[in-house]
Amino acid sequence: MNLEDFDYPLPPELIAQSGAEPRDTSRLMVVDRKTGQIAHRIFRDLPQFLRAGDVLVLNESMVIPARTFATNPHGTALEVLLVREIPSSPGLWEALLKPARRAKIGSLLTFADGLTATVEAIEKDGTRLLRFSGNLWAHLERIGQTPLPPYIHAPVDPARYQTVYAKTPGSVAAPTAGLHFTPELLDRVRAQGVEIQYVTLHVGPGTFKPVHDDPDKHVMHLEPYEVSPQTAAAINRAKAEGRRVIAVGTTVVRTLETAHSPELGVRPGAGETQLFIRPGFKYQVVDALITNFHLPKSTLLMLVSAFMGHELMQRAYRTAVAERYRFYSLGDVMLIL
């Protein structure tokens, strides 16, 4: 792969700084992989493209107020962005710190309400491992801030950067394809015989990490996921019966394709994924995809290219720019059939 093949010119004013209101009034580009046809609709028109028997899979992860502040033993202020709790060691978190050089191994960090954390290790990419002493979750509820993508410069209501069905806390970035749904739209989808199922994948800041140089050398960050027995069984039944599985977002795609095995289909359970889907990947589970418009040279754009074909992806993105769609986390959305 050539990294430049995943670049495209984007006028800065097309980067959305706020979400559409109501949520389901965002624009919807509908792309048919078989015919190459592109249509322009509104997201609340989604039920017209679904049919009874489809399984619509959503990521119910909830964004946590993962941005907070601490001081080191010398009184230097540090910004702390929590990334994920280490599953095998409760209370131990991966975190990104600024300025990182002020947080050496063994440093005791003190937070505003008396919470403390010790820097236990520094990983190769500079990520710190922090061992917390005290009630971290209570601290975040009182003081923590919702982390926003670096390209959003306007204030955003934390509730707007959360899906209406978010349930399980753990993400530091929203599974943004789901931001377009309203409770009423979900009810309409159910009423026409579409089965709605949920998975959990906690999104890390690596989702915004650009790919540099050779994509084949890019390393994805670990992200924890879980697939319930109910969801796995529903998807496996649909696949056996020839019904469509429609993923809402790239996080759902990576969860389902990670959990799939040729012998057992989608397996229930919890785990971590580093799956990097790029052209050449063979999808086993997902038949259709709802996804936002992604950053140039990103792993998310490569996933979309692998799903819809590179030439069609390039044409769709050129069309989106020409038609003045709104891009990235709070922008418009694409349905790839």
- Return the exposure string of 33-48: e unless at least 16 CB atoms fall within 10 Å of the residue's CB, then b: eeeeebeeeebbebee
SS3 of 291, please? strand
Question: Residue 55: which residues within 8 A CB-CB, separation 6 or more?
Answer: 194, 195, 196, 197, 234, 235, 238, 243, 244, 245, 246
List domains and CATH numbers for the chain: 3-63+154-336 (3.40.1780.10), 67-143 (2.40.10.240)
Quick one: pLDDT at residue 87?
84
Quick one: pLDDT at residue 247?
98
Question: Residue 67: which residues within 8 A CB-CB, separation 6 or more?
Answer: 79, 80, 81, 82, 144, 145, 146, 147
Quick one: pLDDT at residue 213?
77
The whole-number mean pLDDT for each consecutive block of 10 residues of the chain, a chain of 337 residues, reads 90 97 98 98 98 98 97 96 91 95 95 94 93 94 93 94 97 96 98 98 82 82 95 98 98 98 97 95 98 95 97 98 98 98
Cα distance between residue 284 and residue 106, in whole Å: 46
Distances (CA, A) of 165 to 190, 226, 247, 268: 14, 16, 15, 21
Quick one: pLDDT at residue 293?
98
Cα distance between residue 84 and residue 175, in whole Å: 16
Whole-prediction pTM value?
0.94
Q: For helices 310-322 and 299-308, give the axis angle rounded to 10 degrees.
A: 110
Q: For helices 299-308 and 250-259, give the axis angle rounded to 10 degrees.
A: 70
- Return the exposure string of 217-238: e unless at least 16 CB atoms fall within 10 Å of the residue's CB, then b: ebebbbbbbbbeeebbebbbeb
Quick one: pLDDT at residue 317?
98
Please give the distance of CA 92 from its chain centroid, rounded to a whole number.
Answer: 23
How buried is 258 (Cβ within 10 angstroms: 0-12 exposed, 13-18 middle, 19+ buried)? buried
Distances (CA, A) of 267 to 56, 141, 168, 261, 283: 17, 34, 20, 7, 16
Please give the distance of CA 289 from its chain centroid, rounded to a whole number.
Answer: 13
Closest CA to 146 of 201, 206, 86, 81: 81
Quick one: pLDDT at residue 211?
84
Any idea what the Cα angle at residue 179 is, between residues 22 and 336, rounded to 5°? 105
